[in-house]
Amino acid sequence: MKIAVIGTGYVGSVTGACFAEMGNTVVCVDKDERKIAQFESGKAPLHEKGLDELVVKNLKNGTLSFTTDFDGAVRGSDILFIAVGTPPSEDGSADLSHVLAVADGIGSCMDHELIVVDKSTVPVGTAALVSGRIAAKLAERGEDIPFSVVSNPEFLAQGTAVKDFLEPSRVVVGSDDPKPLETMRELYGPFMRREGRFFAMDAKTAEIVKYASNCFLAVKISAANELANICSKAGADYENVRKAMGADPRIGEAFLYASAGFGGSCFPKDVKALIRTAEDLGYDARMLRETLDTNERQKHVLGGMVADRFGDDLSGKVFAVWGLAFKAGTDDMRESPAIPVVNDLIAKGATVRAYDPEAMHMAKTPDYFGDNPSIAYFDDKYEALEGADAMLLVTEWKEFRTPDFDRIREALREPVIFDGRLLYEPKRMADLGIEYRSIGR
């Protein structure tokens, strides 16, 4: 099939590369010439495992291309995916300006029947809005060209997005017209060798599935963190609580791990958007609001543990921070727990020596820490420890799981570790002569 993907963020680029991998002819569109040039060179301007390999392979095969020519992509495709950003507005609602601008562009230049697919995470009713905008532009041109608008939410986790797309747990497609549903079923057929994972429904229901999924997972994470904090106060070990709870099939193991809070581009944004949608419908989603409040408090727990140990005045203290990305496997720092952790330390007078295998270039931008003189960055995690009073572990990168603890102990002024991910065993730390403090213990 001939496919156009509008937007080359991690959703758009992964969508385009994976459809090309299955033999479709795909063109990915972005107005940012710099990004297009990077993709054409075979190097994605974002860190996503396996993406570069797919881009290089399918550029070579001729099944994948990148362009700034929006009109040409629309006219050359049969299925068009909208995969642009929907950032939160000040009131928490999803900003649909980019999505609707794409819809206007489609209606202004399309010249044949087209299936338009909302791949962006959008609130209930967006398919109808997109359809209306396309129809209005066609009417302005005096054209009567048939088209369909389909909702097809993405379920990609940053760091495993390529694998998630190639081996989907489910594909959700929503349309009030059965014809495009069959085309979408055919398009996703190569990814669905195992039956029972394609879910066809109406557009509004499909639109809410993504929000419902992310909100439920956010609630589960916040519940896990609340339980971990209670365990810490009670002198219990949340790791054992988690394992016993997770053995119950009604609860399951996933998303029960305690942490310094959730972040990223999806969970916080989607919870806020569903709260706003509920308000517009006259419903107060109180549990979702409390989920966000709980998460914001959780991001300050690690800093509070440092203050309990070293005091509220951290002037002259130096702390090594391992992990800046909101999760392992990505360079994304949006809503990362590391941001308040670092800011809390600096606000109390401390300086920070930071290491992250992928996200340090993001941390240095004005969106995050910029050129803050209280932060130094190191390309080696052990070098970041030199002369620090303690180490804080924030992101669960694999390389942090079994480090050289002798080097850690020798590098630190005091052998103190604050673990925001419960990666290490307390007895093992005690045997090594390391003072170990972690969330949930």
Catalytic positions are 266
* Residue that has been written with the tokens 């974002």 in this structure: 46
Q: Alpha-carbon dihedral of residues 328, 418, 412, 263, nearest 10 degrees? A: 30
Helices 238-246, 203-234: axis angle to 10 degrees equals 140
Query: In what order do the strands lie in the sheet containing 114-118?
Result: 64-67, 25-29, 2-6, 79-82, 114-118, 147-151, 171-174, 198-201
Query: How open is the CA angle 400-401-405, to the nearest 5 degrees?
Result: 75
Which of 86, 129, 80, 152 minimizes the C-alpha distance to 109? 80
CA distance 68 to 317: 50
Q: Phi first, then psi: what are they for 115, rounded to 5°?
A: -100, 120
CA distance 253 to 242: 8
Which of 226, 234, 236, 281 minimizes the C-alpha distance to 258? 226
Query: How open is the CA angle 189-190-195, to the nearest 5 degrees?
Result: 55
Q: Under the phi-then-psi rule, with left for phi > 0, alpha for psi from -120 to 50, and beta for the rest, what region is 256?
A: alpha
Strand ranges for 32-154 from DSSP E? 64-67, 79-82, 114-118, 147-151
Specify the DSSP class assigned to residue 404: -
Find out whether 389 and 317 touch, Cβ atoms under 8 Å.
Answer: yes
C-alpha gyration radius of the chain:
24
Q: What number of helices (H) and strands (E) belong to the chain?
A: 17, 14
How far is residue 1 CA from its own chain's centroid? 29
